[in-house]
Amino acid sequence: MSPAEQFPESRLPVQAELLSVSEVAAIFRVSKMTIYRLVQSGELKHVRIGNSYRIPADSVNPLLSNRSSMFDQVARLMADEPGAAMRTLALHSLRQSDNCCEWCSQDGRPVRWPCTPARVAHRAARIADEAGDRWRIA
């Protein structure tokens, strides 16, 4: 008996669209490592297929509807990693000549300051300050 005969269409589960880590990172304009951290912390649902992770689109959509919560989640992860906020701010510096981010504007497109990574790093620094973990951002 073939699989098609064993599982008629009426019994097959509805297939959800699965996104790669790179696709989700591009959607949120964060690094792939940030998405891996969200997956590992359990804040982002995922399916493991072989050696790769796939994220169901329906678990990404609620985060898209409330991007500020995504920024908070990423900032919390950044605040937990010693030196991450300062390294990010060191890369994403203000270019005085046109008020754009030096790092994000390298490809010729001007990106207004503060760019997304800098905003997340500033929020991470505030979270670390509120928690009394000043040593984590230095």
pLDDT digits (tens, 9 = 90+) for 38-82: 888 888 889 998 999 999 988 887 766 666 666 777 788 888 888
- For residues 93 and 131, membership in a common domain is answered with yes
Q: Look at residue 15 in the predicted model and tell me its pLDDT.
A: 58
Integer Cα distance of 88 and 93 in angstroms: 9
* Residue 95 scores a pLDDT above 60: yes
- For residues 137 and 71, membership in a common domain is answered with yes
- For residues 43 and 88, membership in a common domain is answered with no
- For residues 123 and 108, membership in a common domain is answered with yes
* Residue 13 scores a pLDDT above 70: no
Instruction: pLDDT band for 20, please (50, 70, 90 cuts).
Output: very high
On whether the pTM is more than 0.85, the answer is no
Return the amino acid letter for 114: P
Domain limits at 136? 66-138
Please indicate, yes or no, if residue 4 is contained in any of the structural domains: no
Please indicate, yes or no, if residue 39 is contained in any of the structural domains: yes
Please indicate, yes or no, if residue 10 is contained in any of the structural domains: no
Please indicate, yes or no, if residue 97 is contained in any of the structural domains: yes
Higher pLDDT, 69 or 31: 31
Q: Look at residue 4 in the predicted model and tell me its pLDDT.
A: 55
pLDDT digit string, tens, across residues 104-133: 877 778 888 787 788 888 888 888 777 765
- For residues 135 and 91, membership in a common domain is answered with yes
How far are the Cα atoms of 38, 43, 48, 96, 112 from residue 66, in angstroms, in the given order? Answer: 16, 14, 25, 32, 22
Instruction: pLDDT band for 135, please (50, 70, 90 cuts).
Output: very low
Domain total of the chain: 2
- For residues 112 and 73, membership in a common domain is answered with yes
DSSP H or E segment with residue 32:
helix 32-41
Q: Highest-confidence range of 31-35, 72-76, 134-138, by mean pLDDT?
A: 31-35
